[in-house]
Structure 1
Amino acid sequence: MNLLQSSSQFSTVRFLHLHPSSPTPLRTRFLPVRSSLLPFTNQNAKYHRELEAAVDVVERACRICVDVKKSLYSSEGRIVEKNDNTPVTVADFGVQALVSLELSKVFPSIPLVAEEDSDFVRSNNLVDSVVSVVTDKASSNDKPLTNADVLEAIDRGGKNAIVYGTRPATYWVLDPIDGTKGFLKGSEALYVVGLALVVEGDIVLGVMGCPNWKEASSYNSTIDVQGSESVPSRSGILMVAHVGCGTWARQLSDLMGVSAKVPNGWTRCFVDGCHLVPKARFCISDSQTWESVPLSAFFSATSDAGGVSDKEILLLPTCCGSLCKYLMVASGRASVFILRARAQTTIKAWDHAVGIICVHEAGGKVTDWKGSDIDLAADQVERRILFPSMGVLVTNGTIHNQILEMISSTS
């Protein structure tokens, strides 16, 4: 049943905690491949059609990012120095336009909440460049896209596009490129295209694409592998989540010019099984320091995985943006992502919505620092801003309350 037929019957989301109670060695269970874009059937997934559309458009959006990023490199493979952010701007607006155009064709009645509007593109004479990258990746149409088509698509998700009011709302949430600094840093830094669907106020599905994600050779998590006995490294990742169906991932090898052995192989993702805070692997915002986090009153931090002392925690290397940290927790690579809310910084819905469902469906937990769920409707007008009390805490679930108690004791 698709969303247009069923949104009025949507019930409250309940997330299942599927992770083991303690760290376990890597285990695999091989399952038969189904002839579907998704790892589960439409009988099990209420929003199967919506998720298939989201997967398709996020994959194409990732191709925009990869193609535009190639323009940053010289023939010798070095990053070309530029005096402005033109490449990331073209990719950012191109992704928003593409996603808006494609989703509006299939689900015209569902609005979009997204990061950009077209004013910057218009004022900096970038319209033709954005139209070019969108035209290359858009689905076939009888008539070519015009500048007006693309600008209108961008503004469909922009500020003041729609007023939602106090009633529960249904809408898409898009971050066209989360981690723009990473986009410009080169092949090693991560960036994410993130898309979620909110139905009557609850997140029901999400898709994250990270073209330069590198698969760890091993880490403490439990996975199911569907359709592949070996996972090529350095292949990028596409992560999907659907309420009640879990979080799954597969490779984006084709984006990097590498052919995956089994292109449709899906891996079931679970958070890690760490049950002691000192043993957890932490991520923090790249704009914040460990000393700004309340847990610094209990532990110092080190990035040396081989030399963590009794009074230290392991702080994983900084990666740009928030969504890649959600991706790390949902995949079991990190145990905790902690973000402090600051008076001078606005926390945006698109930086968190898709990450929340991916972590929840992988068995983790996301709250503010007082233990309350993140309220997507706190911005009653436009659904663009979040107001988590003190900050956002993303964990594997097992150590969530322990960390909340530590935060409370330092307040």
Structure 2
Amino acid sequence: MTADNPYSHELSIALLTVQRASLLTKRIVTALDKGAIDKSDASPVTIADFAAQALIISALHRNFPADGFIGEEDAEALRGNAALCDRVWELVSTTSLDDPPSEELPGKIGSKEEMLATIDLGAKAGSQSGRNWVLDPVDGTATFMRNQQYAVCLALVEGGKQKLGVLGCPNLLIGEGGEVREDLIDSKGLGRMLSAVVGQGAYIRPIARGRVETPQRLGRIAEVVDPAKIRWVDSVASDNITHQIHRAIAERLGSTTWPGTDIWSSQMKYIGLAVGAFDAMVRIPPDRSYRASVWDHAGGQLIYAEVGGVLSDTSGKPFDFGLGRNLESNLGLVAAPASIHPKLLEAVKEVLAATAGVGQ
């Protein structure tokens, strides 16, 4: 890191790491789409999760040995299933970047035993130094299995705040009208990778097989003047939201366009917001005790904030990513441009108050 360009080394390693992991997941999803893997078998997404986590943590631990990790998986299931372990190892040991200097920086995993130990690092409590890499190897497992939108997610959190985020979106294809949809996928290429460092803007680039491509800076998101014209994004099949409250919030603003575009992956919603495909999102859980996992939001939130998005929980508080594996001090989510966020937050509070404090 330099004074002029903080986190430059971390960013360069994170980009290579996410790009390589994205290539791994694309191998699996392509095989699924071609029928080479049985879609009734749940193991493809399990293999992708384990293999991508191994590649990501290995590269980061090699370059930043004092840092900690917060992820979903440990290697217990692999130790108890030799066939599954072999399938994960085959992917890990054969996935590499085509450019030798680029491949040298993240490095290779030398053995199956090293792979298992590496995966286990993601299930630990994190680093006592306060620097933790938060990762979700495949965010959007259901849509991954359908060859729709999913994301390979990585963020650096320091002192409870996001400092860096990189999201690989191997199926992302932005339509001619700027739209992002589950069924609009990059079937000819490798999708897009988005990144941000706090205070330095957000960037998008094609995912490549070798060196990281030159990025394009994302412009500021459009402000919303008329609340009735909000373009919403939601996930109508999710059990972790309260659909009738979401609808009531939209109607209180005079909007009849909810639920808008249906996107399953939490992180892909942030990507759609950041590239201007959508305007706003709310997340009101049905149970006030529910707390979201940090890996569903870290990185994507930073990318959205770096293009002008405003994020808070339902009480208006910013998010604290330094309390472990969950967002323990935050309930729900309100995400929108600065021009509409105060009105949206006010509508959220009014609706919650009128519905006996659900989500409060």
- TM-score bin, normalised by smaller chain: 0.7 to 0.9
Q: Which residue of 2 aligns with 1:356?
A: 301
Residue 124, structure 1, aligned to residue 87, structure 2: no
Are the equivalent residues in 2 in contact too, given 1:300–1:313 (CA < 8 A)? no
Identity value in percent: 28
Report the equivalent of 2:99: none
Q: Taking structure 1 as reference, are residues 237 and 144 closer, same or farther at Cα in structure 2, changes over 3 Å only? A: closer
Pair 1:325 & 2:269 matched: yes
Contact 1:368–1:374 (Cα < 8 Å) also in 2: yes
CA distance in 2, matches of 1:218, 1:82: 32
- Report the Cα distance in structure 2 between the residues aligned to 1:338 and 1:70, rounded to whole angstroms: 32
Residues 136, 389 of structure 1: CA spacing in aligned structure 2 closer, same or farther, 3 A cutoff? same
Once structures 1 and 2 are overlaid, which stretch shifts more, 277-286 or 173-182?
A: 277-286
The Cα of 1:79 is off from its aligned counterpart by: 7.8
Aligned to 1:273: 223
- What TM-score, normalized by structure 2, do the two folds share? 0.84
Q: Deviation at 1:71?
A: 2.5
- Find the partner of 1:173 among 111, 115, 134: 134
For 1:136, give the aligned amino acid.
Answer: T
2:249 & 2:281 partners in 1: Cα distance?
17
Comparing 319-328 with 128-137, which one deviates more in the overlay?
Answer: 128-137
Aligned to 2:214: 264
Q: How far has the Cα of 1:354 moved from its partner?
A: 0.6
User: Quick one: higher RCO (CA 8 Å, sep 6+), 1 or 2?
Assistant: 1
1:120-168 CA distances to partner (integer Å, 9 max, x unpaired)? 222333111111211123545998621110011101011xx23667xx8
Distance 1:144 1:372 in 2: 41
Separation in structure 1 between the aligned mates of residue 218 and residue 126 of structure 2, nearest angstrom: 37
Alignment partner of 1:90 is 2:51: no
Partner of 1:291: 243
> Does the 8 Å CA contact 2:67/2:127 hold for their aligned counterparts?
no
Q: Which amino acid aligns with 1:324?
A: M
Unaligned runs of at least 5 residues, structure 2: 97-102, 180-186, 354-360
**Contact kept? 1:284, 1:290, Cα under 8 Å:** no
CA distance in 2, matches of 1:282, 1:290: 15
**Aligned CA distance change for structure 1 residues 210 and 401 (closer, same or farther; 3 Å):** same
Q: Does structure 1 residue 386 correspond to structure 2 residue 343?
A: no
Residue 62 of structure 1 pairs with residue 62 of structure 2: no
Give the secondary-structure state (helix, strand or coil) at the position aligned to 2:218: strand
Rounded Cα–Cα distance in structure 2 between residues aligned with 1:277 and 1:311: 7
Q: Structure 1 residues 402 and 92, CA, compared in 2 at 3 Å: closer, same or farther?
A: same
RMSD of the alignment, in Å?
3.0
Matches within 5 A, 1:27-46: 44-46=4-6
Structure 1 partner of 2:182: none
Distance in 2 between residues matched to 1:101 and 1:347, nearest whole Å: 26
Q: Which segments of 5 or more consecutive residues in structure 1 lack a partner in the other structure?
A: 3-42, 221-231, 302-309
By how many angstroms is 1:264 displaced?
Answer: 2.2
User: 1:300-354 deviations in whole A, cap 9, x for unaligned?
Assistant: 99xxxxxxxx751253332221000011111111111211234375410000011
| Structure 2 counterpart of 1:147 | 112
Aligned-partner Cα distance in 1 for 2:134–2:28: 23
Task: Specify which of 142, 146, 153 is matched with residue 185 of structure 1.
Answer: 146
**Which residue type is aligned with residue 80 of structure 2?**
S
1:49 is aligned to 2:9: yes
Query: Quick one: which of 227, 231, 243 aligns to 2:198?
Result: 243
* Count, aligned residues: 334
Cα deviation per residue 1:347-396 (whole Å; 9 max; x = unaligned)? Answer: 1000001111111111111110110011112x3xxx10113544111212
Instruction: State how far apart, in whole Å, the 2-side matches of 1:183 and 1:354 are.
Output: 19
Q: Could you tell me whether the CA contact under 8 Å between 2:69 and 2:126 is conserved in 1?
A: no
Q: Please, which moves more after superposition, 313-322 or 197-206? A: 313-322
Counterpart-to-counterpart distance in 2, 1:233 and 1:313: 32
Aligned AA (1:248): Y
Q: Is the 8 A contact 1:341 1:388 kept in 2?
A: no
Pairing partner for 1:399 from 329, 340, 344: 340
Task: Work out whether residues 230 and 255 of structure 2, in 8 Å CA contact, stay in contact via their aligned partners in 1.
Answer: no
Structure with greater helix share of residues: 2
